[in-house]
Chain A
Amino acid sequence: MAIEVRDVSKSFGSTPVLKDVSVDITSGSLTALLGPSGGGKSTLLRVIAGLETPDAGTVTISGVDATRLSPQRRNVGFVFQHYAAFKHMSVFRNVAFGLEIRKRPKAEIRKRVDELLQLVHLEQFRDRYPAQLSGGQRQRMALARALAVEPEVLLLDEPFGALDAQVRKELRTWLRRLHDEVHVTTVFVTHDQEEAMDVSDSIVVLADGQVQQAGTPQQLYDEPASPFVMSFLGPVTRLDGRLVRPHDIDIATSPEPGTVEATVNRIVHLGFEVRVELQARSAAEDPEDVWVQVTRGTAEGLRLRTGDTVHLRAIPSALSLTV
Chain B
Amino acid sequence: MSAPEQAWALPSPLAEAPPFDTAPSLPAAAEAPERLVVVPARHPWRWVAGAAVLVLLAQFVHGLATNPGWEWQTFAGYFFEKSIMDALLITLELTFAGAVLGFAGGVVLAALRLAHNPVLKAVSWGYVWVFRSVPLLVQLLFWANLGYLYRTLQVGVPFGPGFHEFQTLHLVSSLGAALLGLSLHEAAYAAEIVRAGMLSVDAGQREAAAALGLPRGRQFRRILLPQAMRAILPSAANELINLLKSTSVVYVLAIGELFYQVQVVYGRTGRVVPLLMVATVWYAILTALLSLVQHRVEKRFGRGATR
Contacts and interface: CB of A to CB of B under 8 A. Distances in A.
Q: How large is the interface on B (under 10, 10 to 19, 20 to 34, 35 or more residues)?
A: 20 to 34
A80 B204 contact: yes
B307 A51 contact: no
A72 B212 CA distance: 6
B304 A88 contact: yes
Contacts of B210: 50-51, 70-72
A88 B303 contact: yes
A244 to B, nearest CB: 43
Contacts of B305: 87, 129, 131
Given A87-B305, A88-B227, A82 B212 contact: no
A72 B304 contact: no
A28 B1 CA distance: 51
A283 interface: no
Interface in A130-150: 130-132, 145-146, 149
A146 B208 CA distance: 9
Interface in B188-225: 202, 204-205, 207-215, 218, 222-223
B226 interface: yes
Nearest to B210: A71
Contacts of B214: 72, 101
Contact of A51 (B207, B213, B215): B207
A80 B208 contact: yes
Nearest to B228: A88
A51 B210 CA distance: 8
Contacts of A70: 210
B22 interface: no
A302 interface: no
A49 B212 contact: no
A245 to B, nearest CB: 39
A75 to B, nearest CB: 8
B304 A129 contact: yes
A86 B207 contact: no
B226 to A, nearest CB: 5
Nearest to B215: A72
A209 interface: no
Contacts of B218: 101
A71 B226 CA distance: 22
Interface in A65-122: 70-73, 75-78, 80, 82, 84, 86-90, 97-98, 101-102
A76 B53 CA distance: 66
B306 to A, nearest CB: 7
A68 to B, nearest CB: 15
17 contacts: A72-B215, A76-B211, A78-B211, A82-B202, A82-B204, A84-B202, A84-B205, A86-B205, A88-B226, A88-B301, A88-B303, A98-B212, A101-B213, A129-B304, A131-B306, A146-B212, A149-B212
Interface of B: 202, 204-205, 207-215, 218, 222-223, 226-227, 301, 303-307
- Nearest 8 A/B pairs, CB to CB: A129-B304, A78-B211, A84-B208, A84-B204, A98-B212, A71-B210, A72-B213, A88-B226
Given A71-B210, A72-B210, 10 more contacts: A72-B215, A73-B213, A80-B207, A87-B227, A101-B218, A101-B222, A131-B304, A131-B305, A146-B211, A146-B212
